[in-house]
Amino acid sequence: MSFLDTLFGRRRGVPSDLELLVTMWPSFTHFPRFVTDKRLSGVRLNTAMYGADEMDKEFRLANSIHDAVPLYFDIKGRQLRVVRAFPFPDRLELLINHPIKVKTPTMVIFKAGEDRALLKEVANNGRRLIFDGGPEYMVYDGESFHIRDPSLEVGGEAFVQTELDKLAKAKKAGISRYFLSYVQSQRDVDEFLNLVGRDTEVVLKIEDQRGLNYVANEFKKTDNISLMAARGDLYVEVERPHQILNAMKLIVDRDPRALVGSRIMLSVSREPVPDCADFMELAWMYDIGYRRMMLCDEICLKEELLSAAIDAFDCFRQSYVNGEE
């Protein structure tokens, strides 16, 4: 019995209309424990920090586990990411995955809003960013970043070759469920469906204002397509912080099967019992219509944090949703 079981009462079972997903990778030592946990409805495989050459081993590990919950493979579309970081004594330079155009100087945001640096020049046909100094923390290959200036234009193909290579590995391994990052138009969706199959289950991650415009004006709900309020990036990308609230309402209004993810129960990273505000937020998201929620990568990296978060979420589900004491 866990600490939360002792505090809130032993769990009485899972049946509920509220689902929980988490993010892990098969090589995590705690992956076998949680991928078979029936309190979960799915596991997202986030490939951001992994190369295509590592996929075969990871999929073999995943496929060796019987009675696993459904696996979802996350493909990065137009999301800006670092291919290679070059930290010089007086500046930071980044090689990036998509060519861009943007008016400089402009501020670039790192670490989901926790760090920033001033971009002074875009070179090498939009592929190399040169900063005035650099952010406070180290920038690693594979990290995402945000440029909120309205002059930003992201060029090139929607899917870079490294993502196509990863996708080929996933399809070969039998993956049939996907997350698609930074969806901004129906063209993005159609192009991806052409790659994976028109009837494939796909979750469209809405992560910026262009994505919200797509939801408001273009999105058409189908049985195999769902939206996601991907708050890790969306909260950084909205023009004003409080606008995340109406953004979340828009997404679930357009899709009753929408997911909401990230920035959920982050207080368990400090203490095993979530803050009062975390339980209140779960209730608010449930009350406005969300029936599928996903924990962020930060919590899922460590077994003890993930265990505490799942236990707390299940206590909420049994009490608030199922009406059990």
Strands 115-123 and 106-110 come out as: antiparallel
Residue that is last in its domain, among 95, 122, 154: 154
Q: What is the pLDDT of residue 324?
A: 82
pLDDT in tens, 23-40: 999 999 999 999 999 999
Q: Which CATH number characterizes residue 165's domain?
A: 3.20.20.60
Burial class (CB in 10 A: 0-12, 13-18, 19+), 93: middle
Angle, CA 143 vertex, CA 137 and CA 149 arms, to 5°: 85
**For residues 290 and 262, is the Cβ–Cβ distance under 8 A?**
no
**pTM (global) more than 0.85:** yes
pLDDT in tens, 150-201: 999 999 999 999 999 999 999 999 999 999 999 999 999 999 999 999 999 9
Q: What is the pLDDT of residue 107?
A: 97
Same domain for 109 and 144, yes or no, is yes
Torsion sign over Cα 13, 19, 21, 26:
positive
Same domain for 136 and 260, yes or no, is no
User: Above pLDDT 70, what percent of the chain?
Assistant: 95
Residue that is last in its domain, among 94, 124, 154: 154
pLDDT-based confidence at residue 51 (cuts at 50, 70, 90): confident
User: What does the pLDDT average to over 70-94?
Assistant: 94
Domain span at 256: 3-77+159-321
Residue that is last in its domain, among 104, 136, 154: 154
Name the nearest CA neighbour of 233 among 97, 78, 28, 121: 78
User: Above pLDDT 90, what percent of the chain?
Assistant: 86
Q: What is the mean pLDDT of the chain?
A: 93
Same domain for 133 and 244, yes or no, is no
Same domain for 194 and 173, yes or no, is yes
Number of structural domains (the chain) is 2
pLDDT in tens, 105-146: 999 999 989 999 999 999 999 999 999 999 999 999 989 999
Same domain for 215 and 305, yes or no, is yes
206 vs 318: CA distance, rounded Å: 29
Same domain for 197 and 279, yes or no, is yes
Same domain for 32 and 134, yes or no, is no
- Cα 88 to Cα 111, 132, 134, 141: the distances in Å are 20, 11, 9, 15
Same domain for 263 and 283, yes or no, is yes
Same domain for 166 and 233, yes or no, is yes
pLDDT > 60? residue 10: no
User: Cα–chain-centroid distance for residue 245?
Assistant: 18
pLDDT in tens, 287-316: 999 999 999 989 999 999 999 999 999 999
**Is 285 in a helix, a strand, or coil?**
helix
